[in-house]
Structure 1
Amino acid sequence: MIPEFLSDGLLPKGIHETTWELFCARFGNSSRKRKELIKKIEVVIKILKEVGCQEFYIDGSFVSERNRPGDFDACWLRDGVDLSRLNQIAPILKHAPGVFKGIDCKQKYGGDIFQLSRLVPDPKNPHGRAITYLEFFQLDKESDGQKGIILLKLETINLEL
């Protein structure tokens, strides 16, 4: 289930699991840009399903109330993923096995996509411990609070390959 947006246009804190159908209905139809991004997210999901990925988390303006999000941010669970197969079917990954990243990724897939367990400096404590992208995505950079993100369990999604 996807909760209602808060007054700041973001989801309430937490990881909100939903189905592909509900995700598309809620976030994929209100503008041409959202429809374009949903198609690109679908491509990424097909690739990740093919290599055995089980969980895909979506963040950024795409899962906000914003009508025309610039892109989406996502991270995926590496457990069980055939990384050599991923590199075969998604050649953009050849320089950083298992990671969709950079301008080429944004152009091809419409967003920045990372392995969930990769570490990034904690913006609240840059000299302290690093945090995972999953933790990072749940930080509201404007309020220093927490926000919600979306979880799609890929084994529940039925898309034509």
Structure 2
Amino acid sequence: MRFNEYGLLEPGDYPLTFEQLRESILVKGEGNSLLPWDGYWRSRLVENLEICVKQLWACGVEEIYIDGSFCTDKYQPNDIDGYFIPPDPKAVFNGKLIEQLNRLDPHKCWGWDRNRFDAYGNLQLEMWHRYRVELYPHCKGVYSGVKNGQGQNMKFDEFFRRDRDFDMVKGIVKLMKG
């Protein structure tokens, strides 16, 4: 795994356990880089991510992908973004998955309504306020609400594999049980 000249992971899926993630360039940085790197902050983000992912695993979710600025060469990413594929999409739509997850989470932060502002006036998920992690369900026929350069609404698995301008395909991490 390495960053390309644009600071993105080379295209592809990178299956990593949490142990491997902690030892990867995403947390430790590249040894030959002259740029500063906030490995401490990145480690804290991974700790928070692991809490959320273990809750998903406990609910039967197996496929979880992360990216965002965390998967770039940015000195200090704001958060970790990602998506997961629920084993039963109906449980997303009828609220049962959120109920299950919130029974596991002491902060009851699962849900996908952005209803609290951050310091910059952006609406964020409760999960983001508590963990600085945003994980969205990806179900067949559900779109991200983000449009690509051609004005088409993208699916989460498309959206997360593109750079901010949707010009380039980038790599993404698939989290694996250890």
Could you say whether these structures have the same fold, taking a TM-score greater than 0.5 normalized by the shorter chain as the test?
yes
- Structure (1 or 2) with the larger CA radius of gyration: 2
Instruction: Output the CA distance in 2 between the equivalents of 1:85 and 1:104.
Output: 16
Deviation at 1:94, TM superposition (A): 5.6
Specify the alignment match of 1:88 in structure 2: 103
1:106-152, Cα deviation, whole Å (9 max, x unpaired): 111212211123412332232x3x32211100111236111111101
| 1:49 matched to 2:57 | yes
Instruction: Output the CA distance in 2 between the equivalents of 1:45 and 1:125.
Output: 33
What runs of 5+ residues in structure 2 fail to find an aligned partner? 29-37, 114-122
What runs of 5+ residues in structure 1 fail to find an aligned partner? none
Identity of aligned residues (%): 24
Structure 1 residues 142 and 105 mapped into 2: Cα distance closer, same or farther (>3 Å)?
same
1:144 aligned counterpart, secondary structure: coil
Structure 1 residues 141 and 88 mapped into 2: Cα distance closer, same or farther (>3 Å)?
same
- Name which of 147, 155, 164 aligns with 1:122: 147
The answer to whether the 8 A contact 2:9-2:171 is kept is yes
Deviation at 1:32, TM superposition (A): 1.8
2:75 aligned counterpart, secondary structure: coil
Instruction: Output the CA distance in 1 between the equivalents of 2:148 and 2:173.
Output: 21
Residue correspondences, number: 147
- Give the aligned residue type for 2:156: Y
Specify the alignment match of 2:21 in structure 1: 23
Instruction: Output the CA distance in 2 between the equivalents of 1:151 and 1:9.
Output: 19
Instruction: Output the CA distance in 1 between the equivalents of 2:53 and 2:19.
Output: 13
TM-score after normalising by structure 2: 0.72
Deviation at 1:95, TM superposition (A): 7.0
Structure 1 residues 132 and 140 mapped into 2: Cα distance closer, same or farther (>3 Å)?
same
TM-score after normalising by structure 1: 0.79
- Give the aligned residue type for 2:167: D
- Name which of 109, 133, 137 aligns with 2:156: 133
- Pairing of 1:1-161 with structure 2 (within 5 A): 3-26=1-24, 27-29=26-28, 31-80=39-88, 83=97, 84-90=99-105, 91-93=108-110, 102-117=124-139, 118-120=142-144, 121-126=146-151, 128=152, 130-142=153-165, 144-153=167-176, 156-157=177-178
Structure 1 residues 47 and 107 mapped into 2: Cα distance closer, same or farther (>3 Å)?
same
1:138 aligned counterpart, secondary structure: coil
The answer to whether the 8 A contact 2:7-2:73 is kept is yes
1:79-116, Cα deviation, whole Å (9 max, x unpaired): 157714224324323676xxxx9342211121221112
